[in-house]
Amino acid sequence: MPVYNKLVRDRIPEIIKMDGKTPITRILSEQEYILEVQKKMHEELTEYEEAIHTDNRLEELADLLELIHAASSLHGVSPAELEKLRARKAEQRGGFAKGIYLVEVQDD
């Protein structure tokens, strides 16, 4: 019997049951949940970095986005409010679309 000890998506226990198996789960405390969301973000980022094909990369980005939504809710902000913050920062400071790499800043 495999032991996972990790945060999973909400429907995973249901999917395991449909496969004729019995999942053993528990609900995390808020503090545990925060830590597990952070760990899962690192896991998904590593999977994104290691993915070779675009579809796999997009799957990992979708997982990261889901975790970002969960994390924003933990901090009392909806995904829509987080998007407004992202858009405001992009308006004020720009995004990352141009691929600008700052090498150094020289004092004049």
Indicate if the pLDDT at residue 1 is higher than 90.
Answer: no
Mean pLDDT of the chain: 96
Q: With 90 as the cut, is the pLDDT of residue 74 above it?
A: yes
With pLDDT > 90 as the criterion, what percentage of the chain qualifies?
96
Encode pLDDT of 75-88 as tens digits.
Answer: 999 999 999 999 99
pTM: 0.87
Is the separation of the CB atoms in 8 and 36 below 8 Å? no
Q: Is the pLDDT of residue 108 over 90?
A: no
Per-residue pLDDT, 2: 87
Determine the Cα angle at 62 with ends 58 and 66, to 5°: 170
